Structure 1
Amino acid sequence: MTIPSDELLIGYDYDAWYGYAKKIPVCVDVSAKINSHALICGMSGSGKSYLINQYLARICLRDGEDSIVYFADFKQDDSFSHLRGCPRYYPYDKTIEALDEVYDIMHKRQCGEDTSKYFVTLIWDEYIANILSISGKDKKKAGVVMNKVSEIIMLGRSLFIRLIIATQRPEASGFPSGSRINFGQIIIVGASIESVYSMLMPKELIEEVGNRKFHAGEGVMLWQGSELKFIKVPVIRDEEKMKAICINALTRQ
């Protein structure tokens, strides 16, 4: 099946995979026509990092050579070690620099100083842990950071600014003004955790999960706050190619 140019492959339909052994793509629109901010959740061992690597590679291919990607890696574990050394890779003590760069671009576009319309994407891994760390040292600074994140979520779409946040648990304390539920895509991978579902999904949609037992790389995606999909993340056969795509995106001028 050919995937339209505006759409991004997230995974395969979970029910079709297990019920009929069919690979039916689950794709989402990530153009500026719609809210393409994404919140990716999953506990340790859930396959979250594996999904993020795929997501990064596919978003880079979809947006093209003119796009710019920033990667904020608070935890800085081996999952993204191939990105270290890239100019737009920001490790644990420099993640706020990535946010400030993207925030500055957004405001230059908002005031008309920058009229470019290529996508600028910030991927921020372990966001909540990062906020908690900042808050423990300087609560005022943490508030400033969260307000910038909230502003990007609210204003970024029409200015071609995209935010992809990954975290184990999407605690409300990390998202001011209810911005936690204002992501176009909310993806939860790994074993079902009722408390995480209840943070992000209405009760009637949680009930639709039923008795499905998700393993690593499997889970749910809530699309634009109302449409629920059950997904199985693809296995990448050429991981070195995927890594090369990501490195190029974080390096090119």
Structure 2
Amino acid sequence: MILGYSLVDWEEYGIKTTIHTDIYKNPHFLITGKSGSGKSQSFLWYAYHILQKQESILYLADFKAGKEYTPLKGCHAYSCADNAVSMIYDYYKLYTEMRQHQNPEIGHITLVIEEWFGLLGYIESIDKKQKNDLMAKVGEILALGRGIGNGIGIFLMVQRADSSNFSAGSREQFQNIVSFGRLSKEQRLMLFAGEDLDFTRNYKTGQGISLIDGQDSATEIIVPWVPEQDTLLNRIRNYMDKQPSIQELLHQMRSAGGDAEHEP
């Protein structure tokens, strides 16, 4: 998978030097940045390439119901508002089934959670126990999903990666960290302590820092802006429409495990 291009090579030489990560070895992504920094637009670029190359099945739980995802509404692989919470729980059920019944026919799968902080804040206002339960389930997938089946990943997008948004130790399970825009000192220490970079730099939209497990150091990156957003989203929608739903994968897993009678 391509995370973007080297910002230094792009600015100094106009060269597109790709920054790669292996989505199978490194399935979990933490994408951070303030509003307007380019998180969502960069994710759409990632989603298109992942789906085009069939690197993973993608499901998007978009709690904020962002207008940038409007063309995806009605697609079974997209959920928004309260339905985003239900999708996370369904994904956890699928993860649980895949732990119990290995099925090589199911490829790599990824759940993308848009605006994790806002989702948790909303859940906490209703039921604090449910918030803790949700954090625990996501934390469990982060800890164990990498080694199950062909890989179970999580892309988590959040404005701030505060420790209060994660169950104990789960923030350390992200093998890929991408931060767009300028970092506060607190966020820099949380995500990139010890990295030798100019953290005072004011990055433009779609520019930031990536840190990938197995690579020597953090790298400044740029993710291209795609002007034809409607075309991009329509292509993403076309790929997602052809994917199996989470419920279909659950049925497939339970049937293979001789447990189809428990299908709700």
| TM-score, normalised with respect to structure 1 | 0.88
- Residue 206 of structure 2 corresponds to 217
1:11-32 Cα shifts (integer Å, max 9, x gaps): 110111112222211121112x
The answer to which of 88-97 and 214-223 deviates more is 88-97
- Pick aligned residue for 1:198 from 185, 189, 192: 189
Q: Contact 2:188/2:199 (CA < 8 Å) preserved in 1? A: no
> Which sections of structure 2, spanning at least 5 residues, go unmatched?
245-264
**How far apart, in 1, do the equivalents of 2:199 and 2:182 lie?**
13
Instruction: Give the secondary structure class of the aligned counterpart of 1:97.
Output: helix
1:211-241 Cα shifts (integer Å, max 9, x gaps): 5331111000011186311101113254344
Q: Contact 2:61/2:87 (CA < 8 Å) preserved in 1? A: yes
**How far apart, in 2, do the equivalents of 1:228 and 1:156 lie?**
24
**How far apart, in 1, do the equivalents of 2:192 and 2:80 lie?**
31
Q: Which amino acid aligns with 2:22?
A: D
Instruction: Give the secondary structure class of the aligned counterpart of 2:208.
Output: strand
**How far apart, in 1, do the equivalents of 2:200 and 2:16 lie?**
21
> Which sections of structure 1, spanning at least 5 residues, go unmatched?
1-7
1:159-214 Cα shifts (integer Å, max 9, x gaps): 22110000111121111112112101110001232222222222x21x42355331
**How far apart, in 2, do the equivalents of 1:243 and 1:134 lie?**
29
Q: Contact 1:69/1:249 (CA < 8 Å) preserved in 2? A: no
- Residue 229 of structure 1 corresponds to 219
Does 1:181 find its partner at 2:166?
Answer: no
Q: CA RMSD, aligned part only?
A: 1.8
- Pick aligned residue for 1:251 from 241, 257, 260: 241
**How far apart, in 2, do the equivalents of 1:215 and 1:97 lie?**
35
Does 1:53 find its partner at 2:44?
Answer: yes
Q: Which amino acid aligns with 2:6?
A: D
Does 1:28 find its partner at 2:21?
Answer: yes
Q: CA deviation at 1:85?
A: 1.1
**How far apart, in 2, do the equivalents of 1:249 and 1:139 lie?**
36
Between Structure 1 and Structure 2, how many residues are aligned? 240
> How do 1:104-253 and structure 2 match up within 5 A?
104-112=93-101, 114-159=103-148, 160-202=151-193, 204-205=194-195, 207-224=196-213, 227-252=217-242, 253=244
| TM-score, normalised with respect to structure 2 | 0.84
Higher alpha-carbon Rg: 2
* Percent identity of equivalent pairs: 29
> How do 1:19-98 and structure 2 match up within 5 A?
19-31=12-24, 34-63=25-54, 67-98=56-87
Instruction: Give the secondary structure class of the aligned counterpart of 2:197.
Output: helix
Q: CA deviation at 1:94?
A: 1.2
**How far apart, in 1, do the equivalents of 2:102 and 2:2 lie?**
34
Q: Contact 2:31/2:155 (CA < 8 Å) preserved in 1? A: yes
**How far apart, in 2, do the equivalents of 1:220 and 1:236 lie?**
20
